[in-house]
A and B are shown apart, each in its own frame.
Chain A
Amino acid sequence: MTVLILIVLGILLSPFNGFAQDDTGKRIYNQWCAQCHGYEGDGEGYAKEFTFPKPRDFSLGTFKFRTTPSGDPPTDEDIIRSIRNGNPGTSMPAWKRFSDEEVKALVEYIKEFAPDVFEFEPEPIKIENAPPATEEIIKKGKELFRVAKCVECHGQHGRGNGKKAWRDDFKDDWGYRIDPANYTYPWELRNGSSLKDIYRTITTGLSGTPMTSYQDSLSDEERWALAHFIKSLQVERRLGISLRLKKVESIPESTDDPQWESLDWLDLPMAGQIIFEPRHFTPTITNVRVRGLYTEDKVAIMLEWVDKKPNKGDDGMPPDGIRLQFPSKIPDGSERPYFYMGDRRHPVNLWVWNAADNLGKEYIAKGPDTVYSQQKQDVKAVGVYDDGLYRVIFVRSINTGDSEDIVFETGRFIPFAVTVYDGRLQEQGNKGVISAWYYIMLEPSTPLRVFVLPPAVSLMVFFAGFLLHKRLSRKADA
């Protein structure tokens, strides 16, 4: 018995035990983190040039995502939160597969890359007494947003398009380009998009970035008001595979016509084009919103996306732009053109708009490198850049009579795809941001029988019941 206790004690106390624990953190880190954060924790991993933002360099001990005052190291819980939740809008995924012990070991290992920074025991802020959302508090937040100069970086409507960030020297402490956050897209908020997450960001700031802490310059109440305002700007993302267009009398010509707002929409998640050279690994546009309607003879599609800095093609960079793609004819079976630019046997129509000339152009593509302009140009387009948001309306006849053009038959699901370009990132040609195939359907007006038949059936059943009742009760009386 004593021997056994001694052995157990020996194991518990042996330096070997501590060693084994260290090994867990290092082992998992080297297997699952080092490809990005580097084997030395210096951010020089294999994926460094292939993601934006770049993976964190832990060797400086600067951490963006904290509950601790600016300049202080993060708490263990802060690092655990980053590992467990990931950083939305970046390549840092949410790691759910590891046990709590394994994550703790990872945290210890990460801290070893900057040991002196972590000698100091930080004091986390308290996140409590969140006031409820009211119109007043949101209004107050909006006012503060201007007064505290958040607009300079984040833009009037919080789309991350403030002019201050357009300068070439707008960088983080690691020397890399950085963009102010676009609050309207919650899926892009690295530090989380809940009210408390936003409050935490404003209070402690994101160390190493131009996003500083407002713990000292704004009161607690003011920071909650700002958080409520920012939360109120978030859009509802509607994902799906198809969008139905309603028939109307006439097409609203301006992009800010309220009729557009009243329509249903479809959000398309976007990704870099990585199938053909030049492959594009680090795009920043994440979403394109689609709306549409049609009249007796025309169809109109409005595309909407956030671009933090407009490029008109006059500054040595290509212009911003967008491209809408349809198959040249509605596919009969399931076979259709390749979703990016079609293929030799299945051409696609391209409707193209760019910010330099602000008009619609029509092309035929039979693959990524086979694109030609059409003789007869039938597409009209007009686009507006307003406070970080592009809105472009394409209009074309339902049937142009051109055999290479798609005919928009009502009631048919017609594939479409989108490519969008941000000139600031040198995007043009095949270096673009692309979507999968989706569908639009021009919803036919409801046939008359839908209004006539159901009441008729109801009446008939009613009378049948009534007659039966009469007959049976007479029989009963007799």
Chain B
Amino acid sequence: MTNFYPVVALLGLAISLISVFRKSPFFNFIGIQITVYGLLKSAALIMPPLPGQVITMYMAMSVFAFLIYFSIQEETFRAFLEPMRAVLADRDKRILRVVLVFILIPLLAGYIAYAKTKPSFEPPVSARIVHPEPPQQIDFRGKTIKILGLENPLRKDTEKLKDYIEEGKKIYYQNCFFCHGDDLDGKGHFAQAFNPPPLPFRGTDTIAQLPESFVFWRIAKGWRGLPPGSAPWDSAMPAFEDFLSEEEIWKVILFIYEASGNKPRTWE
């Protein structure tokens, strides 16, 4: 859909250029406004889409600015007003007048009034922070674990690493895959039932961004550990300190990095 807006902008530009040749400031003005609108909407191609209110504001500014521009010289301004006057007054424009001035414009105004007065109800949207700051330290079944600066203790044991990953695999397919997916893509067979949806581990924007100790905290504390900005009340992520030991959590972490082909972020 956004691909269609650059075309709108080009169309506006064409109208504007033709109008310059035909010396019709009114249609030039219309063309310019279409171009501006098309460009503002096209911005969505290279950045997050501009909110409706921002677009309305820019459009109002553009209309205002070009109205001033076209009204500086009296001659241009008269030419600018000419099409409007012609539609309203000229005998040979009767049909156009009836259609445009007496039917379409009143209807459009009525519709705008309807759209503005009709009460609209939208369910609340909660913006949530997906990767909140972890606490400095957590209490894991009575043991204090410092999160900042912590590394996965099993990673050093290179000899047994393969076994740990295999054990992590078993833990994953008995505790996690329902939601996070057989393929770690966040599309497990339970995923659809939960909102927010379970995170995928594949790709570069989830665990690839985090040190392993953050991941440990998220697994151990689950929904209960989330700050209010992350809407803990909606999260189905269990607090796995209820079900898994410290070592089991480190093992499943080894597995999800290995299986998703990601590397944990290190402490610089």
Contacts and interface: CB of A to CB of B under 8 A. Distances in A.
Nearest to A458: B110
Nearest to A439: B123
A35 B114 CA distance: 59
A472 to B, nearest CB: 4
Contacts of A93: 181-183, 187, 189
A147 interface: no
Main secondary structure of the interface of B (DSSP, over half): helix
Interface in B223-268: 223, 228, 231-234, 236, 238, 242-243, 259
B58 interface: no
Given A35-B173, A271-B178, A339 B88 contact: no
Contacts of B232: 338
A454 B113 contact: yes
B181 A476 contact: no
A453 interface: yes
A97 B183 contact: yes
Interface string A212-244: 000000000000000000000000000001101
Contacts of A454: 110-111, 113-114, 117
A88 to B, nearest CB: 9
Interface in B156-197: 169-170, 172-174, 177-179, 181-183, 187-190, 192-195
A174 interface: no
B196 to A, nearest CB: 9
Contacts of A434: 193
Given A338-B223, A437-B195, A458-B107, A469 B88 contact: yes
Given A336-B233, A434-B193, A468-B88, A455 B110 contact: yes
Contacts of A244: 121
Interface stretch (A131-139, A150-158, A378-386, A444-452): A444-452
B15 to A, nearest CB: 24
Interface stretch (B72-80, B97-105, B131-139, B211-219): B97-105
Contacts of A16: none
Given A272-B178, A434-B193, A335 B228 contact: yes
Contacts of B187: 93
Interface residues of A, number: 70
A346 B228 CA distance: 14
Interface of A: 31-32, 35-36, 45-47, 49-51, 90-91, 93, 95, 97, 241-242, 244, 268-272, 274-277, 279, 281, 334-340, 343, 346, 411, 413, 434-437, 439, 441, 443-444, 446-447, 449-450, 453-462, 465-466, 468-469, 472-473, 475-476
What 10 A-B pairs have minimum CB-CB distances, sorted nearest first?
A458-B110, A271-B193, A271-B190, A472-B89, A457-B113, A454-B114, A436-B195, A465-B101, A462-B106, A461-B109
Interface of B: 85, 88-91, 97, 101-102, 105-107, 109-114, 117-119, 121, 123-124, 126, 169-170, 172-174, 177-179, 181-183, 187-190, 192-195, 222-223, 228, 231-234, 236, 238, 242-243, 259
27 contacts: A31-B259, A32-B182, A35-B173, A46-B170, A47-B177, A93-B181, A244-B121, A271-B192, A271-B193, A274-B236, A274-B238, A279-B243, A338-B232, A339-B234, A340-B236, A413-B121, A434-B193, A436-B193, A436-B234, A436-B236, A449-B117, A453-B117, A454-B110, A461-B106, A466-B102, A469-B97, A476-B89
